[in-house]
Amino acid sequence: MNIVVLMKQTVDTEAKIVLNSDGKIDTNGVTLVINPLDEYAIEEALRIKERLGGEVTIVTLGGDQATAAVRSALAMGADKAVQINDPALGEVDEGMAATILAKAVQTLPHDIVLAGVMDTDNGSAQVAVRMAEKMELPSISSVTKLDIDESLATAKRVIDGGLATLEVTLPAVITVVQGINEVRYPSVAGIMKAKKKPLTVLKLSDLGLDASNLAVQAKVLKFTLPIPRQGGKKLPGEPAEAASLLARLLREEAKVL
Amino acid sequence: MMFELSEDHVMMRKMVRDFAENECAAGAEERDEKEEFPSEIWHKLAELGLAGITFPEKYGGVEADYLSYAIAVEELSRVDASVGVTVSAHSSLCANPIYLFGTEEQKQKYLVPLASGEKIGAFGLTEPMAGSDASGTRTTAVKDGNDYIINGSKIFITNAYEADTYVVTAQMDKSKGNKGIAAFILEKGMPGFTFGKKEKKMGIRSSATYELVFDNVRVPGENLLGEEGQGFKIAMITLDFGRIGIASQALGIAQGAYEQAKNYAKERVQFGQPIAQFQANQFKLADMATQIEAARLLVYQSAYLATQHKPVSKASAMAKLHASETAMWVTTQAVQMHGGYGYTREYPVERMMRDAKITEIYEGTSEVQRIVIASHILKE
């Protein structure tokens, strides 16, 4: 079973986000990690490999700093990695990422392509499924349980208030959600071996692409930080008085009643 | 000189930190309260290769360097110092002397299961009359045919009872003093080898500490570690490396307490503002951070020397001395900054302060570290 995992390096979910003078997210001094949802995809890939044999290949699109995330994925047990790192790329939107990743995955043997349902920073949940479209592969999103039997995948997918069970013929693209598995820690031996595993760095030209032909379709106009949480309000007075004040505030100020 | 961790070491730190926070943090308070050995954690960390970090793959280890080991013990101890010392005593005090002085057969039989974490190791040197002065060893070994008969007892033995394999020193010829001591590998369950009382300790309460009792324990000749008369030297070299582990443990405790104090100071409001706004606390936090960073450089330097097979004795004594005194000072200040809450078991700094004290005592007291350091610098 040839398993490809799409992985993205993201800002640590615990990191404090600040905007720089250009209004962009400032990644200086911020811890970068494997997108936590992609970690579930890597874990699922490793489990499939342990069950059925085969090879797990990590594919990532990212600059030099993304190599650390790739090494972490290799330390977890992936066999090899492809990193598309081209300084010619400026801002990349989901459509561009899908185009580039589709080209990269097409160069690899792939029976199944796994990814986290979205990244925890931009959260668009588009890249893997749009890549599937470009590759003319079937895809199932938000999978919480996955069984592979020969060339058939059975997936349980989270739907509103329940689960749907779907079946798809491989090759297919599957995006996974939290809870599909419990992600392992990389072992010390895994960390030691990560450096020695093959990591292929590709430029767009290696994939027959040209940065000038790739255009951003949806432009980010600006980023806004959430309004900092305000302190609570203490309502004075006797219980009955305070309760009626609370009811009024809930209706008029908070508008929840 | 490189003052930056390599990619591997960064990954190592992240892995052990995640492990410690997810697997060790939640139960630390309860294990401390109940004096419960972290058996389940041991099995999990062994699976990750943390029981045999520095040993070659052919002996069941993962062949990483001493810096990886130091980082691992530091990160475990940042959350739970009892887990940290369990790993340190096992690796440095039992597996390491077998690796350094054992025969190929001994390594296959004892080191392989230790380094893979299938078995736990302990080291028996200290006796009631032989604390800082190992020459006071009264446990005896008498040759009987091919075997040795061991009698006596050891106290304050870390990992005892829980461990399967023990490196133990015994006196063979009192007239020769330290040169009469020999080291042996003992197995739990050997007839006549039993455990005395479990120590009730101030800190590292979930680490197992027992007395070892030897009543005519017959040890086969092939379990002699090194040569007869080499036991004292083996013990001293073992401790030279062991101090890297304890220094790392102390560093981790200090780091953990400092982070607790910093977070608390940013949240605790008195006189209308977070107490971190008061310069008295800012200066304390600045001193903590500085002392910890100095300790870290000493610890990592001693780990580097060990990896390079360079003399480690002076560096590990300095690292252990400074890191343990830093741990004691930082944890005391962390409790102080928490005020009354810090004195209760509601907050982990109370446990950390109790845990820190032992790092100034075991594997050579601070006074012994100063003796070791002085003996080196006066020779230079």
**pLDDT score recorded for residue B250:** 98
List residues of chain B with CB under 8 Å from any CB of chain A: 7-8, 10-12, 14-15, 18-19, 47-50, 53, 57, 62-64, 68, 72
Residues of chain B contacting A185 with CB distance shorter than 8 Å: 15, 18-19, 48
Could you report the per-residue pLDDT of A23-59, keeping only the tens digit for each?
888 888 888 999 999 999 999 999 999 999 999 999 9
Question: B57: how many CB neighbours lie within 10 A of its CB?
Answer: 12
The rounded Cα B209 to chain-centroid distance in angstroms is: 12
| B8, B48, B63: residue with CB nearest A187 | B48
DSSP assignment string, B329-362:
HHHHHHHHHHGGGGGSTTSHHHHHHHHHHHHTTT
CA separation for the pair B61, B50 (Å, rounded): 9
CA distance B114 to chain A (A): 16
Residue A201: pLDDT over 80: yes
Residues of chain A contacting B48 with CB distance shorter than 8 Å: 185, 187-188
Residue A170: pLDDT over 80: yes
**pLDDT score recorded for residue B244:** 97
Of B71, B87, B77, B82, nearest to B20 by C-alpha is B77
CA distance B116 to chain A (A): 11
Q: Which two tokens stand for residue A5?
A: 């995992």
Mean pLDDT check: name the lowest of A224-233, A243-252, B29-38.
A224-233
- Annotation says B57 is catalytic: no
Q: Which two tokens stand for residue B69?
A: 């080991």
List residues of chain A with CB under 8 Å from any CB of chain B: 68, 71-72, 75, 185-189, 191-192, 194-195
Whether A192 sits inside 8 A of B50 (CB atoms) is: no
Calculate mean pLDDT across residues A238-255.
Answer: 89
Provide the strand spans (E) within B49-129.
Answer: 121-124
Q: What's phi and psi for B16, nearest 5 deg?
A: -70, -35
Q: Which amino acid is residue A69, in one-letter code?
A: A
Of B134, B45, B50, B43, nearest to B95 by C-alpha is B50
Chain A: residue nearest B10 by CA?
A68
**pLDDT score recorded for residue A29:** 82
Q: Choosing among A188, A193, A199, which should be mutated to test the B contact, i.e. which has the most B CBs within 10 A?
A: A188
Low-confidence ranges of chain B (pLDDT < 50): none
Could you report the per-residue pLDDT of A217-226, keeping only the tens digit for each?
888 888 888 8
Residues of chain A contacting B64 with CB distance shorter than 8 Å: 188, 191-192
Q: Which residues neighbour A231 within 8 Å (Cβ) at sequence distance 6 or greater?
A: none
Whether B7 sits inside 8 A of A195 (CB atoms) is: yes
Distances in whole angstroms, Cα of residue B35 to Cα of each of A223, B80, B206: 51, 13, 4
A175 beta partners: A115
DSSP assignment string, chain A:
-EEEEEE-EEE-TTSPP-B-TTSSB--TT--EEE-HHHHHHHHHHHHHHHHH--EEEEEEE--GGGHHHHHHHHHHT--EEEEE--TT--S--HHHHHHHHHHHHHTS--SEEEEESS-TTT----HHHHHHHHTT--EEEEEEEEEEETTEEEEEEEETTEEEEEEEESSEEEEE-TTSS-PPPPPHHHHHHHTTS-EEEE-GGGGT--GGG---SS------PPPPPPPP-PPPS-HHHHHHHHHHHHHHTS---
> How many helices and strands in chain B, by DSSP H and E?
13, 10
Distances in whole angstroms, Cα of residue A169 to Cα of each of A45, A139, B16, B358: 17, 10, 40, 61
CA separation for the pair B39, B57 (Å, rounded): 24
Could you report the per-residue pLDDT of A85-122, keeping only the tens digit for each?
998 888 889 999 999 999 999 999 999 999 999 988 88
CA separation for the pair B209, B203 (Å, rounded): 11
| A81 DSSP assignment | E
Q: Which amino acid is residue B175, in one-letter code?
A: S
The better pLDDT of the pair B143, A231 is held by: B143
Place of tokens 């970690």: A39
| A19 DSSP assignment | B
Active site residue: B29, B363, B367, B380, which one? Answer: B363
Angle (CA) B27 B30 B33, round 5° = 150
Residues of chain B contacting A64 with CB distance shorter than 8 Å: none
b/e sequence B281-299, b meaning 16+ C-beta within 10 Å: beebbeebeebbeebbebb
Q: Do the strands B209-219 and B147-158 form a parallel or antiparallel pair, or are they unpaired?
A: antiparallel
Residue A151: pLDDT over 80: yes
**pLDDT score recorded for residue B53:** 97
